[in-house]
């Protein structure tokens, strides 16, 4: 039970923190935040259209909403001349509100409630089980494992592309790379991950999983590769700290993990800034 919860949390945190590194370096963190909110109506619609027990269809349905969000924001920004962050704010609040409304309209048809949307229900993950051969595993695990596999496969195989288009998109476009394509690949990965994470951590806390470990890693590293590896480490450490906090005080596990990553960032930040002060004083 306990280990299944921790395993689920780690499987959510790992791909999130990897993707977070690229979001931070591309200055697209708020877009990730927007997507994580905006997949909500997609999830609800997928719940309604397909059987709620079919997580695969839900994954695809909601993944499309994520790409749609990116597209909407881009159109608002480029075609309608809305400032980019205002466009983000307008689009994600609208889609999230739509999702909440859909949930209340179809409250009888789907087993989603507002609590699940807000914090996720990682505690209940071990309760819904399925059988694969002789193994009995939580229903939430296979999709998460699949998302991990997809995210890590794509990020590792196409690492040079992501690296170049992140570092210098103008140059990348100049040597014939399709920067837009890689952008959309990244955004669809973000939406897959947020959808898979939805059941365990909800739609709003995902952004903490995306950005906080990666931000801590960013403080410590000078290279993309070390940053990615470090953020994985921070992600796992946050899960452990968060789980301990949750056990100790009997509080929400997903929120404690997010808080744990915040604590790790706080420590990194203090060491980082005091280090800088020392260097400055020596000069």
Q: Does 100 bind another protein (CB under 8 A)?
A: yes
In angstroms, how far is CA 259 from the centroid of its own chain?
15
DSSP 251: -
Q: How far apart are CA 206 and CA 183, in angstroms?
A: 20
Examine residue 101 and tell whether it contacts another protein (CB under 8 A): yes
| Residue 91 C-beta: closest distance to another protein, Å | 8
Minimum distance, C-beta of residue 63 to another protein, in the bound complex (Å)? 21
Q: What residues numbered 38-57 form the site for another protein, per CB under 8 A? A: none
109 binds another protein (CB under 8 A): no
Contact 50, 61 (CB under 8 A): yes
- Is residue 147 near another protein by the rule CB under 8 A? no
Based on the shown chain and the rule CB under 8 A, indicate whether residue 68 belongs to the binding site for another protein.
no
Helix (H, G, I), strand (E, B) or coil at 255: helix
For another protein, which residue of 4, 57, 64, 89 counts as binding (CB under 8 A)?
Answer: 89
**Is there a contact between 231 and 213 (Cβ–Cβ < 8 Å)?**
yes
Q: Which is nearer to another protein, 89 or 142 (CB)?
A: 89
Check if the beta carbon of residue 33 is closer than 8 Å to that of residue 204.
no
Give residue 82's Cα distance to chain centre: 26
Asked if 224 interacts with another protein (CB under 8 A), we say no
Q: 61: which 2 tokens?
A: 């349905």
Asked if residue 167 binds another protein (CB under 8 A), the reply is no
Q: Show the tokens assigned to 89.
A: 């704010």
User: Quick check: 79 binds another protein (CB under 8 A)?
Assistant: yes
Q: How far apart are CA 43 and CA 47, in angstroms?
A: 6
Q: Tell which one of 35, 46, 62, 96 touches another protein (CB under 8 A).
A: 96
The DSSP secondary structure of 181-248, one letter per residue, reads HHHHHHHHHHHHHHHHHHHHHTTTTHHHHHHHHHHHHHHH-SSHHHHHHHHHHHHHHHHHHHHHHHHH
Mark the segment that binds another protein (CB under 8 A) among 32-40, 42-50, 145-153, 169-177: 32-40
Determine if 255 is a binding residue for another protein (CB under 8 A).
yes
Residues in contact with another protein, counted by CB under 8 A, come to a total of 60
Interface with another protein (CB under 8 A), residue from 64, 67, 82, 164: 82
141 vs 104: CA distance, rounded Å: 27
Binding residues (CB under 8 A) for another protein: these are 24, 27-30, 32-33, 37, 76, 79-83, 85-86, 88-90, 93-94, 96-98, 100-101, 104-105, 107, 114, 118-119, 204-205, 207-208, 210-212, 215, 218-219, 245, 249-252, 254-256, 258-259, 261-262, 265, 269, 272-273, 276, 280
């Amino acid at each position: 039970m306990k280990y299944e919860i921790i395993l689920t949390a780690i499987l959510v945190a790992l791909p999130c923190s990897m993707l977070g590194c690229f979001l931070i370096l591309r200055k697209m963190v708020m877009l990730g935040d927007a997507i994580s909110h905006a997949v909500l109506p997609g999830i609800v619609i997928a719940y309604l259209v397909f059987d709620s027990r079919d997580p695969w269809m839900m994954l695809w349905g909601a993944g499309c909403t994520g790409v749609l969000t990116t597209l909407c924001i881009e159109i608002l920004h480029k075609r309608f001349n809305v400032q980019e962050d205002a466009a983000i704010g307008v689009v994600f609040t609208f889609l999230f509100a739509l999702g909440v409304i859909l949930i209340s309209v179809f409250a009888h048809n789907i087993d989603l409630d507002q609590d699940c949307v807000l914090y996720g229900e990682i505690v209940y993950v071990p309760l819904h089980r399925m059988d694969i051969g002789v193994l009995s595993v939580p229903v939430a695990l296979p999709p998460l494992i699949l998302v991990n596999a997809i995210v890590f496969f794509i990020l590792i195989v196409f690492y040079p592309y992501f690296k170049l288009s992140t570092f210098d998109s103008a140059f990348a476009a100049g040597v014939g790379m399709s920067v837009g394509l890689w952008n959309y690949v990244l955004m669809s990965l973000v939406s897959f991950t947020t959808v898979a994470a939805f059941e365990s951590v909800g739609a709003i806390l995902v952004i903490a999983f995306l950005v906080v470990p990666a931000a801590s890693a960013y403080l410590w590293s000078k290279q993309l590769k070390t940053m990615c590896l470090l953020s994985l480490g921070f992600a796992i450490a946050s899960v452990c700290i968060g789980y301990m906090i949750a056990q100790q005080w009997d509080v929400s596990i997903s929120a404690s993990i997010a808080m744990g990553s915040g604590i790790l960032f706080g420590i990194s930040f203090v060491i980082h800034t005091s280090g800088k002060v020392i260097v400055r004083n020596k000069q």
